[in-house]
Chains A and B, each alone.
Chain A
Amino acid sequence: MSLNTPLRQVLGLGSAKSGVHHWWLQRLTSVALVPLSIWFVVSLLSLPALDHGTVAAWMHHALTALLLVLLVLTAAWHSRLGLQVIIEDYVHTSGTRTLLLVLVGFAHVFLAAAGVFAILRVAAGGSA
């Protein structure tokens, strides 16, 4: 039981004075993902075949590899921001929430790094 006033409950620990950055980046990454995703799908569909050799040859182009790296980084960033919102919305136990946010952050950094590494390795012409 708490005898705090309702106003004290609402004011809580005060304003975090952050959130604009998150909101703005979520919008920026979604705008960037529109051309990147269209480019990615159209490029794949316009390849003569989708076997490993053809796709690897396509990825040898510098511009292709660069855009793929951007796509992976932007998508990972956007996904992390979005999952953070979902966790904050639905997970109400503060310990679990913090833990999930940290895990989601690590997972995204790992996935983004793995994606970039894979692209660079194929683009640099290494054997598969």
Chain B
Amino acid sequence: MAEFRLPANSRIAKGITHPAPPGARALREVRIYRFNPDSGENPRVDTFSLDTASCGPMVLDALIQLKATVDSSITFRRSCREGICGSCAMNINGVNRLACTTALQELSGDIRIYPLPHMPVVKDLVPDLTNFYAQYAAVKPWLQTRTPAPPDRERLQSKEEQERIDRPAACILCACCSTSCPSYWWNSDRFLGPAALLAAYRWIIDSRDEATGERLDELEDPFRLYRCHTIMNCTDVCPKDLNPARAIAEIKKMLVERQV
């Protein structure tokens, strides 16, 4: 029933230490989690020496530099390099964040890079987000109405009504929040997690949406919603400064409100 150690094939083995590049001026040690499912070997942590003098300022720059100059097999997701695509979410020095918006300078000591916690690892820093995306799909993240759209214009919203969804709608689905949540670690098969619940909240409070009751019905569940114990890691780590914990609390309040 209780597991106190990682499964035998998940335990981290000793990795390779790569030598410093010749002529390096400002060295920093970077330790990167490595796992290759094809090798049949356990994961390991490789140690690299990064010359920060010849590297861009961000952690993503460091990864790209090391991939280009030391080990081309380092695997990670990245796309926009400006914090809007959410691809390069990873655990950097113990905190889930985007590699592209985390400056090497703001990290003290050695740099330790791991994949997002408690997710199946596809390879190196690439987690399997299949379940995470399915949870997002499960909350029906689109407008649901019964009133037909006006034939000659958009569905209107007041400025205040738009401002209410402005922040929740800024979520980039990077999964930093959900994978930092202990409740999500233990029960991700049934607990929807902060990201999906924030998305649900965004549609619940959308002034144009007419499925509020059905949405609340779908969330009212001991596991889907109430596994949240207000731990607040989600809000702490959000790289977009959003507040999923607050959104979940608001959903809980609405569920009480419609009963009393």
The reply to whether chain A is a binding partner of chain B is: yes
Question: Quick check: A20 and B133 within 8 Å, CB to CB?
Answer: no
Residue total for B at the interface (Cβ-Cβ under 8 A): 31
For the complex, give the distance between the alpha carbons of A85 and B187 in Å: 12
Q: Is B137 an interface residue (CB 8 A)?
A: yes
Residues of B within 8 A of A (CB): 1-2, 130-131, 133-135, 137-138, 183, 186-187, 189-190, 192, 217-227, 229, 252, 255-256, 259
**What are the nearest 6 A-B pairs in CB distance?**
A6-B134, A10-B134, A15-B221, A19-B226, A19-B222, A16-B221
Residues in A whose Cβ lies below 8 Å from that of B223? 16, 88
A18-B221, A89-B186 known, 16 other contacts, Cβ within 8 Å:
A7-B134, A7-B137, A7-B138, A10-B134, A10-B138, A15-B220, A16-B220, A16-B222, A17-B220, A18-B222, A20-B259, A22-B222, A23-B252, A92-B1, A92-B186, A92-B187
Residues in A whose Cβ lies below 8 Å from that of B137? 7, 10
Residue on B nearest A88 in the bound complex, by CB: B222
For the complex, give the distance between the alpha carbons of A93 and B3 in Å: 12
Assign chain A's interface to a size class: 20 to 34
For the complex, give the distance between the alpha carbons of A9 and B190 in Å: 9
Q: Is A98 an interface residue (CB 8 A)?
A: no
Residues in A whose Cβ lies below 8 Å from that of B186? 89-90, 92
Q: Is A43 an interface residue (CB 8 A)?
A: no
Residues in B whose Cβ lies below 8 Å from that of A85? 229
Residue on A nearest B138 in the bound complex, by CB: A10
